[in-house]
Structure 1
Amino acid sequence: MLDPAKPLRVLVSEGSSTSAREVVTILGLSGHYVEICDPSPWCLSRFSRFVRKFHRCPGLRDDPAGYLAFVERQLADRKFDVLLPTHEQGFLFARVGQRIEGRAGIALPSFESYRQAHSKAGFSRLLDRLGLPQPPTRIVKSAQGVRDAVRFPAVVKTSVGTASRGIWFVRSADDLMSALHDLGGGDAFAGEVLVQDLVAGTTEKAQSVFCRGRMLGFHAYRQIAAGVGGGEAIKQSVNRPVVRAYVEQIGRALDWHGALSVDYIVPDVDTAPLLIDCNPRLVEPMNAYRSGVDLVGLLLLISLGETPAPLLASREGVLTRLAMQALLGCAARGGTRPDILRECLHLAAARGPYAGSSEELTPVQSDWISAVPLAVTAAVLAVSPKLAIKLALGGFGAHLLDAMSIRVIESEGFYQHNSSSPAKAGDDGGE
């Protein structure tokens, strides 16, 4: 059995997402040696004292083969204990699992299971097969199909998309025309599009870790205040045994191995929660960590082939905040410069809506370098609050998948392909 106190060498698959940034904090607080790779030299996770080395790599979106070759070189040269996929890189690693095996520990299910959880249409079909609740959903393949399926209010979703990309809230004919215009500008109808009834209620999220189909850890939280782009500015941990049972059933059906998260709606009426989305990864695990459940540590053990004991239930009522999301959300909702300044003061003093909460994304007290992106965000918004959306879109970069890169990874022969692409990126930064 692995000594849980032993520091591990961990390579984090990207550094731009909020999930990766929180994973880095948890790994660092636990004493592990952390390196990250990302195509952006200014990625969020780089601003952490816990990151020993940063590697600038090809983008997963633009060059999946080059990204894979880059990661393989790191694993061959640096002898990492664990490769930790924190976002959509897991799609690629699940596709080429045998090429990673033996080079570093990693916890992922079969590619077939990963692909079903990653696809919104595949996840919806799985829920139907298992008899689990979701909003009324129609899956279509054309603009006319969307028109025929919409019942106002509705949500239109591309089958592939993360971090609120590819989602339109349609409450009127004008909203529908705008959504169809956006869909027509890409290749969305080369795949499938979901049309769901929009159910009034509170958004919550649950995350879990499985070992060969058996759930070993679970945590859920609800959104208390919204940030920008569908993210949370304030969270509160909740106890949701019914959602836990849903996720257990999903994990068993997929023989899941590794991290699995779901989004769901708790309707305003007295009915069961409705599952609306799935992410085959941990999504911002710091609220779980503050609530007494270290899902990242559990995932490390499973990545190394261990079968640890199940974790105890997390504590209810634990409040956490994301200061950057709070500022961006304030500005995106039309906040003025005085509003931004007032929000900064509330956050700094943990008062007003932030009373009783702890910071999860930029924990300045334990990681002073995290103050840099927070201060830059505050300064930019103080100059021009209208830049909030542009700043938020900075997280939707080359470290993520799109429809084209998914087709490349799924294509016949990719598994055996060794990229001949010239090096597009290299190491940057040091210990």
Structure 2
Amino acid sequence: MTESSGKHVLITFGRSFLTLNLARLMAAAGHRVTIVDSLPIGITRFSHATSKFFKVPSPKFEPVAYCRRLVQIVVEEKVDIVIPIHEETDILSMMAGLFPPTCELFLSPFTTENQLHQKAEFSQLLADKGMPGLKYATLSSPEDVEKLDFTTPFALKRVYSRGSQKVYKVSPGDDLSWLEFEDGNPWLAQQWASGDRYCTYSICRDGRVFAHAAYPVGYAIDGNSCLRFQSVEHPGILAWITEFVADIGFTGHIGFDFYDDPDIGLLTIECNPRATSGIMLFAPQDGVDRAFFGENTELITPDPDVDKMIGLGMMLYGWTRKSLNGRSFRQFVRDFRHSHDVVWASDDRKPAVMLPLAYLFILRHCFKYKVGLAEGFMHDHEWDGKEIPLDG
């Protein structure tokens, strides 16, 4: 890629399909793209959209070294904006003061990022603002379990967790003696919701939504982490997000998980104050790069007919019982043939060619950290609420 008169954009988490798609969108708009990752082999490194790649320390295991290395890259490469993709967002926001004023971090202050990331705090934020939410309780000890007063089924998950990790459905009276408690990362008991499920992705600046996408939850890993993405319009969801983002003055990308209950209406399960798969619904002609710089006056949305999938994920998980969720295998085959793989691009083929090698490096992570494939993909970029001393 030749250098252009556009911005110099640094995007993190180079192994991610989200990063690959965002890099392609930025490059197509004339911006120079630098990619970083703690793994030396990731698919975005091989994209024509990438000008430079840097291997950096792990943000989870070496957070201070990670941030200082990014600062060094920003200064030496004259980066205009850093766009974090995964939970390194929290770590960067915590250490934003290290970065020079000439470079923007596309995120909000740490207090805001953490309040949205931590699931119990987000639930309390909704309650404080008088917005509809689900009944919840935080469990930090066996004594908290004994005080539970749910009369209907509820979900159990860590307050710091993500879609690929376990969510347990529990009924009142079930034995919960198996719960293990971890300082700083308690369990969240949350009323079990019903209705049509949607995920969203929005690009925001100073409390205004500049780009937005919504997609229903269909094929998904364990029913939670989406594998297929179909753009839909949902005015109620857009109105909810527009009001919420304006109220907290949010800057960054943000995603929400919704249930649209036919009797109750919209219920928000959790918030992801970072990039979500919705970025993969946009195409170069949408000009979504403008949203990151606050340059557009009209809301940017993807084409309503977009149908994308993570092809490898669909092959590995899409046909399983939880992902099918009542569909037939024949329907799965039809949907697989209809959707367009997010990695493959006729004018940028190398990421797809290198995908098997990239996954070998992910598998090394899985063995190293003794986690499954979905968890291993992001394990060294997660942040679970641990305080990070600047000299640590």
Which bracket does the TM-score occupy, shorter chain normalised? Answer: 0.7 to 0.9
Q: Report the alpha carbon displacement of residue 174 of structure 1 after superposing the two structures with TM.
A: 6.8
Post-superposition offset of 1:289: 0.6
The residue that corresponds to 2:248 in the other structure is: 254
The residue type equivalent to 2:99 in the other structure is I
With 326-335 and 235-244 compared, the bigger mean Cα shift is at 326-335
Task: Say which SS state the counterpart of residue 190 (structure 1) adopts.
Answer: coil
- Secondary structure at the aligned position of 2:89 is classed as helix
Match of 2:187 among 187, 193, 197: 193
Q: Is the 8 A contact 1:237 1:287 kept in 2?
A: no
Report matched runs for 1:172-183 at 5 Å: 176-178=176-178, 180=179, 183=180
Instruction: Please name the residue that 2:353 is paired with.
Output: 372
Deviations 1:258-282 (A, max 9, x none): 2221111123x34312101111122
Distance in 2, matches of 1:235 and 1:53, equals 29
- 1:256 maps to a residue whose letter is F
Quick one: structure 1 residues 332 and 370, their matched pair in 2 at CA, closer, same or farther if it must change by over 3 Å? farther
Corresponding position of 2:200: 206
Whether the 8 Å contact between 1:35 and 1:51 is mirrored in structure 2 is yes
1:129 aligns with 2:110: no
SS of the residue 1:273 aligns to: strand
Instruction: Report the CA distance between 1:155 and its aligned residue.
Output: 1.1
Deviation at 1:68, TM superposition (A): 0.9
- The AA in structure 1 aligned to 2:196 is T
The offset of 1:96, in angstroms, is: 2.7
SS at match of 1:274: strand
Task: Return the offset for 1:227.
Answer: 3.8
What is the total number of aligned residue pairs between the two structures?
Answer: 373
- Residue identity opposite 1:363 in structure 2: W
Distance 1:275 1:292, change over 3 A: farther
What code does the residue aligned with 2:38 have? P
Rounded to whole Å, the distance in 2 between the matches of 1:99 and 1:376 is 35
Return the match for 2:272 from 262, 274, 279. 279
Moved more, 218-227 or 76-85: 218-227
Match of residue 266 from structure 1: 260
Q: What is aligned with 1:400?
A: 382
Q: Spell out, residue by residue over 1:63-105, the C-alpha distance to the aligned partner (whole angstroms, 9 max, x if none).
A: 1111111111111111112211111222122223333242423
1:288 match: 281
**Would you say the 8 A contact 2:25–2:283 is kept in 1?**
no
Residues in 2 aligned to 1:312 and 1:201: alpha-carbon distance in whole angstroms: 27
Greater CA drift, 12-21 or 111-120: 12-21
1:358 has 2:340 as partner: yes
The root-mean-square deviation of aligned C-alpha atoms, in Å, is 3.2
Higher relative CO (Cα under 8 Å, sequence separation at least 6) belongs to 1
Structure 1 residues 172-227: Cα deviation after superposition (integer angstroms, max 9, x where no partner): 8778455x1xx33xx2x434431112222332111212221222222211123224
Q: Is the 8 A contact 2:204 2:252 kept in 1?
A: yes
Quick check: 141-150 or 362-371, which moved more? 141-150
Query: Which residue of 2 is the match for residue 311 of structure 1?
Result: 299
2:231 corresponds, among 215, 226, 237, to 237
TM-score of the aligned structures, taking structure 1 as reference length: 0.76
Cα distance, 1:295 vs structure 2: 4.0
Moved more, 251-260 or 21-30: 21-30
1:231 Cα deviation from its structure 2 partner: 1.9
**Separation in structure 1 between the aligned mates of residue 204 and residue 320 of structure 2, nearest angstrom:** 37
**317 and 296 in structure 1: CA distance in 2 versus 1, 3 angstrom threshold:** same
Query: CA offset at residue 164 of structure 1?
Result: 3.3
Q: Shift in Å at residue 364 of structure 1? A: 3.7
Amino acid at match of 2:48: R
- The SS at the match of 1:260 is strand
Cα deviation for residue 378 of structure 1 reads 10
Structure 1 position 245, deviation (Å): 1.8
Instruction: Check whether the contact 1:324–1:377 (CA below 8 A) recurs between aligned residues.
Output: no
Cα distance change of structure 1 residues 136 and 289 upon mapping to structure 2, 3 Å threshold: same
Q: Give the residue type in structure 2 aligned to 1:190.
A: G
CA separation in 1, counterparts of 2:264 and 2:97?
Answer: 44
**Post-superposition offset of 1:309:** 1.7
The aligned amino acid for 1:158 is R
Instruction: Provide the C-alpha distance between the structure 2 equivalents of 1:290 and 1:44, rounded to a whole number of angstroms.
Output: 19
Gap change, CA 1:375 and 1:256, over 3 Å in 2 = same
C-alpha contact 2:155 2:189 (8 A) present in aligned 1: yes
Between 1:55-64 and 1:140-149, the stretch displaced more is 140-149
Q: CA deviation at 1:375?
A: 4.8
In structure 2, the residue corresponding to 1:155 is in which secondary structure?
A: strand
CA–CA distance in structure 2, aligned partners of residues 292 and 170 of structure 1: 46
> Is the CA contact (8 Å cut-off) linking 1:22 and 1:285 kept in structure 2?
no
Name 1:34's counterpart in structure 2. Answer: 33
CA contact under 8 A between 1:291 and 1:314: conserved in structure 2? no
CA distance in 2, matches of 1:91, 1:126: 18
Corresponding residue number in structure 1 for 2:106: 107
The amino acid that maps onto 1:395 is: F
Q: Distance in 1 between matches of 2:339 and 2:44?
A: 22
Q: Is the 8 A contact 1:228 1:325 kept in 2?
A: no
Quick one: structure 1 residues 69 and 166, their matched pair in 2 at CA, closer, same or farther if it must change by over 3 Å?
farther
SS of the residue 1:371 aligns to: helix
2:13 is paired with a residue whose SS is coil
1:420-431 counterparts in 2 under 5 A?
A: none
What letter matches 1:367 in structure 2? D
Choose the corresponding residue for 1:215, options 199, 209, 219: 209
